[in-house]
Structure 1
Amino acid sequence: MRLGFILREAAKGLRQNVVMVVSVVLVTFVSLTFIGASVLLQLQINQMKGYWYDRMEVAVYLCDDNSSSPNCEGESVTDEERDNIRAMIESEQMAPYVKEYAYESKEQAFKNFQDQFKNSEIVDQVTAAELPESFRIALQDPEKYPIIQEAFSTVDGVDTVLDQHELLEKIFQVVRVASAAAAIVAIVMIACAVLLTGTTIQLSAMHRRLETTIMRLVGASKATIQLPFVIEGVIASVIGAILATGTLWLLMKFLVQDKLAAGNADIAFISTGEVWLVAPGLLILGIVLATISSVITLKRYLKV
């Protein structure tokens, strides 16, 4: 098998089918870009989980005059009830679950509220009396939240027990939906890329049927005849994968790092380094899809 001959034949096929090859490159580029974006979104979810889950707390809100919980009966928590709740948190029974805790008074809650919503109109519509006092509990294992909820939800003086991880999980769910949507679009585009690659190889084989017939008659092997066509599809897919990687890197650099990360220092964003982790997978996927499409097409349309 002469490598130089095979490469020359592949180059000739690329020149003869420039428009179709460009189409394969573009469709492969778009499909792999969506796949890469979907993977990067999932990496971002995992990054945020690892970052925020260590910082999330369980909030045990105490009764006040506005509480409707059966534990409160429309009355504020008493000093005795507050001390009892504190003692429960510090008890040996809770020690395996509680990492640390802090008490937040109405005044502290109001100050935190003002800091958090200082740029919002609602900051002037809320008073300290309307905000409940609470105990903020950091857990050893965030997954053990149900134990804390069960222990405190029926205690006198407790209005509600809120797990901030549940709120965060809703945000993650939205991102997961976006990631799944990108994956679905990517699958559709991959199907288009496979079909278009097959069509390109088919046209190339039809245009060179006389040449391949002569090669077969003079004793050329099946691999020697088919490899140039396979290489054509692989080259187009590799170019598409490289373009997809470059696009993802640019998006990560200028959109995520320079814009989102710079303006949200309290959020852990992934970096351009993750793009290089995804890139080999995109390249391999492009090569595999092009090879499979080319081989199947050649078996049907190139009888050698």
Structure 2
Amino acid sequence: MRHTLREAWSGLRRNLTMTLAVIITMWVSLTLFGGGLLGAQQVELAKGNWYEKIEISVFMCGKVTQGRNCEPGQDVTDAQRQTIRTTLETNPEVATVYYESKAEAWEDFKRVYKDSPALGFMTADMMQDSFRVKLKNPEQYQGVVSAVAGLPGVQAVQDLRQYLNPLFEWLNVAKWATIGLSLWLLLAAALQIATTIRMAAFSRRRELGIMRLVGASNWYIMLPFLIESLVAALIGAILACGSLAAVQKFLIIDKAQPSLQSVEWIGWPHVGLAMLGVVAVGVVLSVVPTVIATRKYLRV
């Protein structure tokens, strides 16, 4: 074992420049990869948090509103309102139904737009009463929308998902773009490791030939090269984990959380999972190219 460690240390010193290049490439690529993992967890966390709060709003016809199910200048009738309520309450996908009257809508409007000039042009009679529908499964909303959208007295059905989905789609694009870029850099790191190992094997080709002649096994010959690549990869992985910890502390905890307290942010357990992924990928990317390179170039 002492001989193996000595050979690994010798190889790291002789190929110091290439080793540093591998460490830096692994550091950058694994940091991006870990950032992609953190981004994926943040998107799923935010998606689950917001989807749980999603409600469907069913707005009733009013004197100043227009819609294909509305009669011009007429409010929704009591019979139409009761039919809509019954349709919602008997739908198996609906958890709760809350009715908001015009008076309640007017009070909310005055609170939200208390400093807006628009408040002077609005009256309580111009408001719309509505039903707020909470779903049992936020992912299954289309059945409820289709059940009430065509009923007489329904002016519009609004689902917050139509506003949230484009946001989550862009976040997913950013997440996969980060992971894709990191994969290219990880490929570059793997190629650098393979090149470094081939150079090290070529510089020690006579010694390796003697070892083969005296009966040394392939694994005995591979082991110093595996240690070299593992050391470089683990240093890069440790630096990447430090970068992820810095992102969590200085960007998320110190900056993002105080600014956007309504958003549920990822915590240290999520960072820990990303770090485990970073270390695992780093080990795989160090071992696989080394095994391939040594099996091909050390058969002397």
TM-score (norm 2): 0.89
Q: How does 1:138-149 map to 2 (within 5 A)?
A: 138-149=134-145
| 1:255 aligns with one of 233, 251, 257 | 251
Q: Does 1:290 find its partner at 2:289?
A: no
Q: 1:168 & 1:229 partners in 2: Cα distance?
A: 50
| 1:201 aligns with one of 187, 197, 200 | 197
Deviations 1:50-107 (A, max 9, x none): 22222110011222345342101433433423344334334xx23x332223233456
Q: Which runs of no fewer than 5 residues in structure 1 stay unpaired?
A: none
| 1:246 aligns with one of 242, 246, 250 | 242
Partner letter of residue 135 of structure 1? Answer: F
TM-score (norm 1): 0.88
Q: 1:24 & 1:117 partners in 2: Cα distance?
A: 58
Q: How does 1:198-277 map to 2 (within 5 A)?
A: 198-277=194-273
Compare 223-232 and 78-87 and name the one that shifted more.
78-87
Q: 1:210 & 1:110 partners in 2: Cα distance?
A: 89
Deviation of 1:184 (Å):
1.0
Q: 2:278 & 2:165 partners in 1: Cα distance?
A: 29
Aligned to 1:135: 131
Aligned to 2:15: 17
> Could you say if the C-alpha distance between residues 32 and 113 of structure 1 is closer, same or farther in structure 2, counting changes exceeding 3 Å?
farther
Q: Which runs of no fewer than 5 residues in structure 2 stay unpaired?
A: none
Q: 1:264 & 1:29 partners in 2: Cα distance?
A: 30
> Could you say if the C-alpha distance between residues 230 and 115 of structure 1 is closer, same or farther in structure 2, counting changes exceeding 3 Å?
farther
Q: 1:51 & 1:233 partners in 2: Cα distance?
A: 42
Q: How does 1:127-206 map to 2 (within 5 A)?
A: 128=122, 132-206=128-202
Counterpart of 1:6 in 2: which secondary structure?
A: helix
> Could you say if the C-alpha distance between residues 214 and 268 of structure 1 is closer, same or farther in structure 2, counting changes exceeding 3 Å?
same
- On the 8 A contact 1:27/1:193 being kept in 2, the answer is yes
> Could you say if the C-alpha distance between residues 6 and 30 of structure 1 is closer, same or farther in structure 2, counting changes exceeding 3 Å?
same
Q: 1:183 & 1:114 partners in 2: Cα distance?
A: 46
Q: Does 1:32 find its partner at 2:33?
A: no
Deviations 1:261-303 (A, max 9, x none): 2222221111122111122222121111111111212233333
Deviations 1:176-203 (A, max 9, x none): 1011101110111111011111111111
- On the 8 A contact 1:35/1:186 being kept in 2, the answer is yes
Number of residues of Structure 1 aligned to a counterpart in Structure 2: 296
Q: 1:115 & 1:11 partners in 2: Cα distance?
A: 71
Once the two structures are aligned, what percentage of the paired residues are identical? 36
